[in-house]
Amino acid sequence: MIRAEIYKSKNQFRGFRVTGHAGYAESGHDIVCAAVTSACMLAANIITDGFFISAKVSAENNVMLCIADDADERVEAVVGMLVQQLDMIRDEYPETIKISFSEV
């Protein structure tokens, strides 16, 4: 199962950490993993390269992390849309994604 932990600060989205494997198909052929990876990479790239917002970003060992250094309405919007996308994927492919929220 993919685990998406969405980080909030003062009730505003600040970033995310996504780990795991959907288990929908073999690694390398899993369309759920591909969709989640693509959505997360796009969100991180919009935050850092599109809006030039300083953030801690890493993608290694089956872990994708993106946390903005400061709260920002643009980060709130991008991470909010990522949550919406993950919800839509989860609705289409139940039991593949678990989304949780944590305060940072």
What is the extent of the structural domain holding 78? Answer: 2-103
Q: How many domains does the chain have?
A: 1
In 3-state terms, the chain is what percent helix, strand and coil (to 5)?
A: 40, 35, 25
Give the pLDDT of the chain (104 residues) as one tens digit per residue: 999 999 999 899 999 999 999 999 998 899 999 999 999 999 999 999 999 999 999 999 999 999 999 989 999 999 999 999 999 999 999 999 999 999 99
Q: Residue 18: which of 73, 32, 53 has the closest Cα?
A: 32
CATH number at residue 33: 3.30.70.1490
